[in-house]
């Protein structure tokens, strides 16, 4: 199931997430055709409890989305639909719902809503994990450093939604999976460029300094991928939030190293707007801070370990596979 | 591009049951671990190794015919990681268990297996690695120690360097030149089992910067080695040496060397840490959780009969860098002092200092970081 969905998503993203499409989305134009195709294939419903897909499948699809820098709020749309549950109307194909952060309980100014401007309904998540539904009435447009819309939205008709799962950890895991995918793509771009760019009469891949940068990158990318898989595998377990914490931390650390090195390998070409590299590196930089930075999740994991005590730390680490 | 794949591994139930046996054993033998150190080559304790041998935890994956237990790679993994995490003294049997025994099983003669394996399994016979020389470090094929054929065997002359525990162990498996290179520098190399007590062997310990005397210079002056102690065919040494690498490079000893610093750091910051202290604890845990999973993935590949040399190099590269990073993270976040910490500050400082002084070796031994990056780059198709 997971592989089938990921393959289907990949076909759509490969076609649709072209450089012009990424540029258009960054100028604020919603990728309606992409969303329509995803809806025609039923992706908007895949996180609903009765969809037949596992929640893990969602994260497999998000990893593919990350590989293509898919310029739409897929995680938020699908999780919003999940948390809105069977509440009618939301199953219609073209309705985009999204998720925003609620600074305080019931506050009508919701923050950082991915594509809030295009959303029909908004699910708000508070710091303590409380979940609300709201109807957007006014939007102040804003972008993250990757040019992805992160809007401030004024909402009405706010009411609590029952949610039996940890919404913040799921949102963080979405960024983890997207980042794992984008990191793989950045490694591919680095290897491809090193093999094709020639200086001093040979491909720069022949220079040991370049080889070593990319070897380090490959190691970081592999670690990020493994950390992401582990957190996905922990969905539903009582360690879920802690595994997400570890993954968000590990992936965030990989991002800094990988983005720096692969830009170095690309020379000035990778610094141009025309080159596609920045669509991935800017997203990686943005995503490591979204849904809780490394420090946030590290402290959460660290507090738990400190509460267990020094002589229990190993047992915690060894109780995971 | 070939993507490196690290598939999840679920430890079998038998391995988890074993984990508790090992912990009970460690608790009963805590008197032998008065100064815990997770570095696999710190702590040579023949008596402790013999006790492990009694439990069947050395050579535990090897055939029963030689005294082994035919247990899985995962069970061995659990035993080794528990011993390292506890900081137990494992260096005496470590090389024989990890490398020499498996080499004899894959390339050795029946006679060699029958002769050497049972004593290794009992924890009574210890081996060293004889690769490096004064003129040979990363460029292993350049070894100059020579073995000349004589009636019934070989006469060995030359110098091995940095041989860990040669002054405490019984045998060395040495890579030597048995025939001239003749255009192919990987040809003409052979692996010999050399009795370190044989006439003509001179062993001189070399003090390291941490004050320890663990590695040695070993000089061979016309030392006789019987034909029966050549491992595999003469001239096949290079391919044998390189096929050991998956075993040598991916185990938990490649990321746990500094683990005790972490334990003492957690003890120091206590149950109610500052945010920055908690973040340091969590950051280190995130690395450890990921590395352990990657290392177990490689164990899974080995269990399935694969030769994951690139994956093993990648785990070692990540693991060794992390072993150096761990003390840095801890020291930067460590509180100056906390009243009534029951000696936690002193213990942390001591463990930190011991590990920091060992840390330069982490990215050298078993293949330097630069050599490993070269292996990974080749795996990526860059060279
Ligand atoms: C604590 C410890 C225990 C050891 N125990 C043993 C043992 O038991 N048995 C044994 O045989 N050996 C042992 N060694 C030796 C170890 O295998 C070597 O240190 C290692 O192979 C590197 O060799 P070298 O020290 O001569 O460094 P060199 O090979 O001289 O390297 C020096 C520097 O140059 C770099 N360099 C070398 N070649 C290249 C290249 N082609 N490209 C880029 N950079 C390069 C290296 O990465 C390193 O940074 C031990 C070493 C240590 C530190």
User: A97-102 and A121-126: which strand pairing?
Assistant: parallel
What are the pocket residues of ligand 1 if the criterion is a CB atom closer than 6 Å to any ligand atom? B 128-132, 137-138, 162-164, 215, 361, 364-365, 368, 370-371
- B243, part of any domain: no
Q: What is the pLDDT of residue A3?
A: 85
Residues 6+ apart with CB under 8 A from A50: none
With vertex at residue B366, the alpha carbon angle to CA B362 and CA B372, rounded to the nearest 5 degrees, is 90
- pTM of the full structure: 0.97
Ligand 1 pocket mutation pick from B142, B365, B376, B382 by most atoms within 8 angstroms of CB: B365
Instruction: Quote the tokens at residue B318.
Output: 């990540």
Q: What is the largest CA-CA distance in chain B?
A: 72
Hey, are the CB atoms on A227 and B285 less than 8 Å from each other? no
What is the atom index within ligand 1 of the atom nearest the CA of B131?
A: 11
Which residue reads 């670690």 in tokens?
Answer: A223
Q: Which residue, of B93, B125, B157, is where some domain finishes?
A: B125
**Shared domain check, B283 and B179:** no
User: B127-130 and B171-177: which strand pairing?
Assistant: parallel
Q: What is the ipTM of this complex?
A: 0.96
Residues 6+ apart with CB under 8 A from B224: B150, B153, B154, B155, B156, B198, B199, B200
| Rounded Cα gap, residues B19 and A298, in angstroms | 27
**Shared domain check, B133 and B118:** no
Across the interface, which of A184, A194, A320 has its CB nearest the CB of B382? A194
Contact A260, A235 (CB under 8 A): no
- B38, part of any domain: yes
- Does residue A98 belong to the interface with chain B, where contact is any CB pair within 8 Å? no
* Domain membership of residue B194 as a residue range: 129-236
**Shared domain check, B205 and B101:** no
- B242, part of any domain: no
Q: What is the pLDDT of residue A117?
A: 95
Give the residue from chain B lying closest to A192, CA to CA. B1
Confidence of residue B249 (pLDDT cuts 50, 70, 90): confident
- What are the backbone dihedrals phi and psi of residue B54, each rounded to the nearest 5 degrees, phi first? -60, -35
- What are the backbone dihedrals phi and psi of residue B182, each rounded to the nearest 5 degrees, phi first? 45, 60
Residues 6+ apart with CB under 8 A from A249: A294, A297, A298, A301, B282, B283, B286
Contact A154, A148 (CB under 8 A): no
Q: What is the CATH number of the domain that holds B45?
A: 1.10.540.10
Residues 6+ apart with CB under 8 A from A180: A63, A66, A224, A225, A227, A228, A251
With CA atoms as reference, report the closest residue to B280 among B264, B297, B299, B302. B264
Instruction: Quote the tokens at residue A308.
Output: 């267990």
Q: What is the pLDDT of residue B353?
A: 97
Residue A300: how many other CB atoms lie within 10 Å? 21
Q: What is the CATH number of the domain that holds B145?
A: 2.40.110.10
Q: Give the N- to C-terminal CA distance of chain B in Å, as an integer.
A: 13
- Does residue A307 belong to the interface with chain B, where contact is any CB pair within 8 Å? yes
Q: Please, what's the b/e burial string for B38-62 (b: 16 or more CB within 10 A of its CB; e: otherwise)? A: bbbbbbbbeebbebbbeeebbbbbb
Contact B256, B38 (CB under 8 A): yes
| Rounded Cα gap, residues A249 and B284, in angstroms | 9
Hey, are the CB atoms on B279 and A225 less than 8 Å from each other? no
Q: What is the CATH number of the domain that holds B315?
A: 1.20.140.10
Ligand 1 centre and the CA of B364: distance in Å? 5
- Does residue A311 belong to the interface with chain B, where contact is any CB pair within 8 Å? yes
What is the atom index within ligand 1 of the atom nearest the CA of B371?
A: 47
Give the residue from chain B lying closest to A317, CA to CA. B289
Compute the average pLDDT of residues B223-238. Answer: 97
Across the interface, which of A215, A226, A303 has its CB nearest the CB of B293? A226
- Does residue B314 belong to the interface with chain A, where contact is any CB pair within 8 Å? yes
Contact B220, B239 (CB under 8 A): no
Hey, are the CB atoms on A226 and B6 less than 8 Å from each other? yes
Across the interface, which of B8, B275, B290 has its CB nearest the CB of A223? B290
**Shared domain check, B221 and B200:** yes
| Rounded Cα gap, residues B355 and B333, in angstroms | 17
Hey, are the CB atoms on B82 and A318 less than 8 Å from each other? yes
Ligand 1 centre and the CA of B261: distance in Å? 25
Chain B residues with beta carbon closer than 8 angstroms to that of A233:
8
Chain B residues with beta carbon closer than 8 angstroms to that of A310:
263-264, 266-267
- What are the backbone dihedrals phi and psi of residue B2, each rounded to the nearest 5 degrees, phi first? -75, 115
| Rounded Cα gap, residues A255 and A184, in angstroms | 11
pLDDT value at B154 more than 50: yes
Contact A246, A317 (CB under 8 A): no
Q: What is the pLDDT of residue A107?
A: 77
| Rounded Cα gap, residues B171 and B175, in angstroms | 13
Indicate the number of domains in chain B.
3
Chain B residues with beta carbon closer than 8 angstroms to that of A292:
none
Positions of chain A with pLDDT lower than 70, given as ranges: 86-93, 105-106, 321
Residue ranges of domains in chain A, CATH in brackets:
2-160 (1.10.540.10), 167-318 (1.20.140.10)
Q: What is the pLDDT of residue A86?
A: 64
Long-range contacts of B347-352 (CB under 8 A, 24+ apart): B347/B264, B347/B267, B347/B268, B348/B261, B348/B264, B348/B265, B348/B267, B348/B268, B351/B260, B351/B261, B351/B263, B351/B264, B352/B261, B352/B264, B352/B327
Residue B367: how many other CB atoms lie within 10 Å? 21
Q: Which residue, of B71, B96, B125, is where some domain finishes?
A: B125
Contact B165, B134 (CB under 8 A): no
Q: What is the pLDDT of residue B316?
A: 96
Hey, are the CB atoms on B380 and A222 less than 8 Å from each other? no
| Tally of residues, chain B | 383
Is the four-CA dihedral B11, B12, B13, B15 of positive or negative sign? negative
- What are the backbone dihedrals phi and psi of residue A143, each rounded to the nearest 5 degrees, phi first? -135, 150
Hey, are the CB atoms on B380 and A191 less than 8 Å from each other? yes
- B241, part of any domain: no
User: Mean pLDDT, chain B, as a whole number?
Assistant: 95
**Shared domain check, B321 and B263:** yes
- B257, part of any domain: yes
User: B153-161 and B146-150: which strand pairing?
Assistant: antiparallel
**Shared domain check, B119 and B182:** no
**Shared domain check, B117 and B133:** no
**Shared domain check, B348 and B302:** yes
Hey, are the CB atoms on A214 and B288 less than 8 Å from each other? no
User: B153-161 and B213-226: which strand pairing?
Assistant: antiparallel
Task: Compute the count of residue pairs across chains A and B with CB atoms less than 8 Å apart.
Answer: 177
Give the residue from chain B lying closest to A188, CA to CA. B1
Compute the average pLDDT of residues B181-193. Answer: 94
pLDDT value at B17 more than 90: yes
Chain A residues with beta carbon closer than 8 angstroms to that of B314:
218-219, 222
Percent of chain B with pLDDT over 70: 99
Residue A73: how many other CB atoms lie within 10 Å? 26
Residue A21: how many other CB atoms lie within 10 Å? 19
- What are the backbone dihedrals phi and psi of residue B114, each rounded to the nearest 5 degrees, phi first? -65, -30
- Does residue B228 belong to the interface with chain A, where contact is any CB pair within 8 Å? no
What is the atom index within ligand 1 of the atom nearest the CA of B95?
A: 8
Chain A residues with beta carbon closer than 8 angstroms to that of B281:
298, 301-303, 305-306
Q: What is the pLDDT of residue A88?
A: 44
Confidence of residue B2 (pLDDT cuts 50, 70, 90): low
**Shared domain check, B177 and B90:** no
- Convert chain B into a string of H (helix), E (strand) and C (coil): CCCCCCCCCCCCHHHHHHHHHHHHHHHHCHHHHCCCCCCCCCCCCHHHHHHHHHHCCCCCCCCHHHCCCCCCHHHHHHHHHHHHHHCCCCHHHHHHHHHHHHHHHHHCCHHHHHHHHHHHHCCCCCEEEECCECCECCCHHHCCCEEEEECCEEEEEEEEECCCCCCCCCEEEEEEECCCCCCCCCCCEEEEEEECCCCCEEEEEEECCCCCEEEEEEEEEEEEEEHHHEECCCCEHHHHHHHCHHHHHCCHHHCCCCHHHHHHHHHHHCCCCCHHHHHHHHHHHHHHHHHHHHHHHHHHHHHCCCCCHHHHHHHHHHHHHHHHHHHHHHHHHCCCCCCCCCCHHHHHHHHHHHHHHHHHHCCCCCCCHHHHHHHHHHHCCCC
Chain B residues with beta carbon closer than 8 angstroms to that of A210:
382
Chain A residues with beta carbon closer than 8 angstroms to that of B293:
226-227, 230, 320-321
| Rounded Cα gap, residues A233 and B188, in angstroms | 49
Q: What is the pLDDT of residue B342?
A: 84
Give the residue from chain B lying closest to A189, CA to CA. B1
| Rounded Cα gap, residues B273 and B266, in angstroms | 9
Q: How far is A296 from chain B (nearest CA, A)?
A: 7
Q: Which residue, of B181, B207, B236, is where some domain finishes?
A: B236
Q: How far is A26 from chain B (nearest CA, A)?
A: 29
Q: Which helix (H) or strand (E) holds A152?
A: strand A150-161
pLDDT tens track for B290-343: 999 999 999 999 889 888 999 999 999 999 999 999 999 999 999 887 767 789
With vertex at residue A53, the alpha carbon angle to CA A158 and CA A251, rounded to the nearest 5 degrees, is 75
Residues 6+ apart with CB under 8 A from A107: none
Is the four-CA dihedral B79, B80, B84, B85 of positive or negative sign? negative
Q: Name which of B377, B378, B379 to mutate to probe chain A: the one with the most chain A Cβ atoms within 10 A of its Cβ.
A: B377
Contact A300, A294 (CB under 8 A): no
**Shared domain check, B68 and B21:** yes
Chain A residues with beta carbon closer than 8 angstroms to that of B376:
215, 218-219
- B186, part of any domain: yes
**Shared domain check, B108 and B143:** no
Is the four-CA dihedral A67, A73, A75, A81 of positive or negative sign? negative
Q: Give the N- to C-terminal CA distance of chain A in Å, as an integer.
A: 23
Hey, are the CB atoms on A306 and B281 less than 8 Å from each other? yes
Q: What is the pLDDT of residue A2?
A: 78
Q: What is the pLDDT of residue B3?
A: 65
**Shared domain check, B335 and B284:** yes
pLDDT tens track for B43-101: 999 999 999 999 999 999 999 999 999 999 999 999 999 999 999 999 999 999 999 99
Ligand 1 centre and the CA of B171: distance in Å? 22
The residue whose C-alpha atom lies closest to atom 23 belonging to ligand 1 is B137
- Does residue B151 belong to the interface with chain A, where contact is any CB pair within 8 Å? no
Ligand 1 centre and the CA of B370: distance in Å? 10
Ligand 1 centre and the CA of B252: distance in Å? 20
């Amino acid at each position: 199931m997971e592989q089938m969905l990921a393959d289907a998503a990949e076909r759509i993203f490969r076609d649709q997430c072209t450089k012009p499409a990424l540029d258009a989305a960054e100028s604020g134009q919603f990728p309606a055709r992409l969303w329509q195709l995803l809806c025609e294939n039923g992706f908007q419903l895949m996180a609903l409890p009765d969809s037949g897909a596992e929640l893990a499948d969602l994260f497999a699809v998000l990893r593919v989305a990350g590989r293509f820098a898919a310029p739409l709020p897929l995680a938020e749309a699908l999780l919003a639909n999940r948390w809105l549950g069977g509440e009618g109307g939301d199953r219609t194909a073209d309705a985009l719902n999204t998720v925003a952060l609620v600074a305080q309980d019931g506050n009508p100014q919701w923050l950082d809503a991915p594509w809030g401007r295009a959303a029909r309904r908004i699910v708000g998540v508070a710091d303590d994990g409380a979940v609300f539904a709201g109807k957007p009435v006014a939007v102040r447009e804003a972008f993250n450093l990757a040019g992805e819309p992160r809007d401030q939205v004024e909402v009405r008709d706010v009411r609590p939604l029952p949610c039996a799962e940890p919404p913040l950890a799921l949102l963080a895991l979405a960024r983890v999976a997207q980042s794992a995918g984008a990191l793989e793509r950045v490694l591919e771009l680095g290897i491809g460029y090193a093999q094709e760019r020639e200086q001093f009469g040979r491909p720069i891949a022949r220079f040991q300094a370049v080889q070593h940068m990319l070897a380090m990158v490959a190691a970081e990318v592999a670690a990020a991928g493994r950390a992401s898989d582990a957190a996905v595998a922990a969905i539903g377990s009582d360690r879920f939030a802690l595994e997400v914490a570890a993954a968000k931390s590990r992936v965030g650390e990989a991002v800094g190293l990988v983005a720096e090195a692969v830009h170095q390998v690309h020379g000035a070409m990778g610094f141009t707007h025309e080159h596609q590299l920045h669509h991935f590196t800017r997203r990686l930089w943005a995503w490591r801070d979204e849904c809780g930075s490394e420090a946030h999740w590290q402290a959460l994991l660290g507090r738990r370990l400190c509460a267990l005590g020094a002589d229990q730390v190993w047992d915690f680490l060894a109780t995971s596979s | 591009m070939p993507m490196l794949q690290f598939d999840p591994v679920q430890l079998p139930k038998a391995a988890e049951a074993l984990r508790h046996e090992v912990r009970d054993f460690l608790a009963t033998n805590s008197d032998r671990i008065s100064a815990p150190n997770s570095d696999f080559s710190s702590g040579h304790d023949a008596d402790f190794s013999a006790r492990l041998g009694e439990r069947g935890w050395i050579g535990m994956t090897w055939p029963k015919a030689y005294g082994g237990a035919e247990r899985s790679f995962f069970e061995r993994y659990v035993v080794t990681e528990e011993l390292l995490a506890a900081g137990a003294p494992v260096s005496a049997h470590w090389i024989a268990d990890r490398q020499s025994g498996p080499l004899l099983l894959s390339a050795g003669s029946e006679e060699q297996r029958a002769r050497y394996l049972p004593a290794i399994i009992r924890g009574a016979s210890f081996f060293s690695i004889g690769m490096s020389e004064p003129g040979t470090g990363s460029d292993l094929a350049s070894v100059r120690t020579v073995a000349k054929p004589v009636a019934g065997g070989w006469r060995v002359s030359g110098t091995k360097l940095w041989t860990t525990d040669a002054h405490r162990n019984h045998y060395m498996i040495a890579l030597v030149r048995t025939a001239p290179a003749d255009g192919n520098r990987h040809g003409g190399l052979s692996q010999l089992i050399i009795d370190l007590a044989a006439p003509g062997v001179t062993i001189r310990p070399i003090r390291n910067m941490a004050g320890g005397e663990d590695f040695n210079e070993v000089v061979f002056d016309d030392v006789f080695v019987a034909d029966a102690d050549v491992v595999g065919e003469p001239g096949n040494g290079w391919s044998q040496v390189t096929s050991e690498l998956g075993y040598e490079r991916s185990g938990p000893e490649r990321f746990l060397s500094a683990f005790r610093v972490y334990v003492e750091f957690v003890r120091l910051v206590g149950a109610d840490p500052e945010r920055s202290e908690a973040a340091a604890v969590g950051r280190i845990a995130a690395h450890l959780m990921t590395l352990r999973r990657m290392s177990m993935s490689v164990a899974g590949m080995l269990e399935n009969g694969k030769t994951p040399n690139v994956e093993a190099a990648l785990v070692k590269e990540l693991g060794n860098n992390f072993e150096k990073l761990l003390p840095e993270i801890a020291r930067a976040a460590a509180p100056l002092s906390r009243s009534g910490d029951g000696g936690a500050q002193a213990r942390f400082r001591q463990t930190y200092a011991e590990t920091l002084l060992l840390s330069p070796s982490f990215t050298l031994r078993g293949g330097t970081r630069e050599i490993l990056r070269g292996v990974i780059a080749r795996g990526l198709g860059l060279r």
